[in-house]
Amino acid sequence: MWSSLPSFVAVYPETLLVLVASVMALVDRWVTRKAVFTWATIVTALLALALVFLTQGTTFGHTYAADQYGVFFKTIFLLVLFLVALLAPGYNRLLGINFGEFYALLMYAVTGMMLMASTQDLILLYLGLELMSLSVYVLVGLLYAELRSLEGAMKYFLLGSFASAFLLLAMAFLYGLTGTTNIEAIAKALLAANLSANKALFLSAALFVVAFAFKVALVPFHMWSPDAYEGAPTSVTAFMSVGPKAAGFAAMGRVFLIALGAAKTEWTQLLVPLAVLTMFTGAVLAVVQTNIKRLLAYSSITHAGYAVLGIIAGTKEGMAATMLYLFLYAFMNIGAFSVIVLMRRKNFLGENIFDYQGLSKTHPTVALLLLIFLFSLTGIPPTAGFIGKFFVFRAAFEAGHTALVILAVLASAIAAYPYLRIVMLMYMKPPEKEVEISLNPYIFAGLMFAVTGVLLFGVYPGPVIDFARACCTGFLP
């Protein structure tokens, strides 16, 4: 009987993360030097990354495929974990949340994301999503003596559960139509039964769109995100603005491009209006924000709108562009949040954009770093943000969505204003108040890593885009 036990090699990275996370949660009481947890997280992230590249293959009767597509997304998730582990310790100590469970929950969330990226089965997709969401709900509510943190966590939890219900309904309809939950078997069954114009399939696709739009915060399903981003501890905001979003796109790729490949015209016509609405709403609402965390929340809504263009393109090139975009977005967004974390003192939030006024006079290096990250978010060359946008727009253009690309460029012109306004405040206004910077070696290393990524991949993106294309080769024809 033992001979029939399936091979677990393909899930070694996930197993490692779960084991380390469980041990960290367990020993927290006995470890007084909390820096141990930071180091454990960093080492585990790097080890898991090595394992991701070493262990590939399909296992458990084709329900889990550690393929190239999964490898790219897992690289993004582990990169996010690595950067957040560097950003978190100083800030968390200040707020009294620097305990083992914090890092453990981060790792559980990453495990859920990795399962989502590699799943071949809708049930596992749902469970991965829940594992990720549940961990992040708790992380958002960590500071819940603060009313806004409680509010953010509550909204995120209620709307997230609602979205999960939509996802289950979509899966139930798809299962009812095809009789299987395996993603590749669904694709085959839809083609064989010639179901592409079926209205019930359209309903299922629409429900999938709603569920994923909630998770990656596309307008009009974005209501939770500004409150959750503002209320969460900034270290968690940095994590959830990139990680769960990338995981949502990974699942979208598997579900829309593979399972629902037969109904491509149907889900495209649902996603296009959402993408336009998302880019413009995010850009316009970011203009009026004065809290920098809310501003970056709306900015991340806009960026999700750009990233979805690659999915809409529906080609190998499009998916590769979305993956590249998310990879580069991790560097610039976590970089920007690292600067916000630097500004936080015991009795000073450092979240109002006027706190950054005249920063170039008092702290020129910090101002320069924030300038680079904001230029990258705007999409100005030679930063990584430009490269990401360029490839996504080109993929959508080549797939024939010319009007959509024109609108996207217009939206990014509007979206430039809030970023450049902060730059203007930093460089062209005199400083009004004394701000102190809480620097420590971890966040210094994290900032250097992020800024190197932004500039290096802005000038020399070749290897990453080639890697993204190679990862899509086996995934899409």
User: Footprint of other proteins on this chain (CB under 8 A)?
Assistant: 4, 6, 11, 18, 22, 25, 60-61, 63-64, 96-97, 101, 104-105, 108, 111, 115, 121, 123-124, 127-128, 130-131, 134-135, 137-138, 141-145, 176-180, 185, 189, 193, 195, 198-200, 202-203
Cβ distance to other proteins smaller for residue 129 or 423: 129
**CB contact at 8 A, 66 and 235:** no
- Of residues 87 and 174, the one with the C-beta less far from other proteins: 174
Give the other-Cβ count within 10 Å of 59's Cβ. 17
Nearest residue to 359 via CA among 333, 341, 339: 339
User: What is the Cα–Cα distance from 80 to 330, expressed in whole angstroms?
Assistant: 6
What minimum distance in Å lies between the beta carbon of 252 and other proteins? 20
Residue 7 — φ and ψ, nearest 5°?
-75, 135
What residue has token string 């102190």?
Answer: 436
- Which CB, 98 or 225, lies closer to other proteins? 98
- Minimum distance of other proteins from residue 7's CB (angstroms): 11
**Contact in structure between 349 and 433 (CB atoms under 8 Å):** no
Q: For 61, left (φ over 0), alpha (ψ -120 to 50), or beta? A: left
Judged by beta carbon, residue 233 or residue 335, the one nearer other proteins is: 233
- Residue among 4 and 32 whose Cβ is closer to other proteins: 4
Asked whether the beta carbons of 297 and 219 are under 8 A apart, the reply is: no
In whole angstroms, the minimum distance from the beta carbon of 64 to other proteins comes to 5
Least Å distance between CB 170 and other proteins? 11
Provide, rounded to whole angstroms, the least separation between the CB of residue 393 and other proteins.
34
DSSP string for 400-447: T-HHHHHHHHHHHHHHHHHHHHHHHHHHHS---S-------HHHHHHH
From residue 195, give the alpha-carbon distance in Å to each of 122, 217, 315. Answer: 19, 30, 21
* Minimum CB distance to other proteins smaller for 4 or for 434: 4
Q: How far is the CB of 141 from other proteins (least distance, A)?
A: 6
Between 141 and 318, CB nearer to other proteins: 141
Cα 466 from Cα 327, distance rounded (Å): 13
DSSP E strand stretches across 41-195:
57-59, 64-66
CB of 202 to other proteins, least distance (A): 6
* Residue 423 CB neighbours (<10 A): 18
Q: Which is nearer to other proteins, 1 or 430 (CB)?
A: 1
> Phi, psi at residue 119, to the nearest 5°?
-70, 145
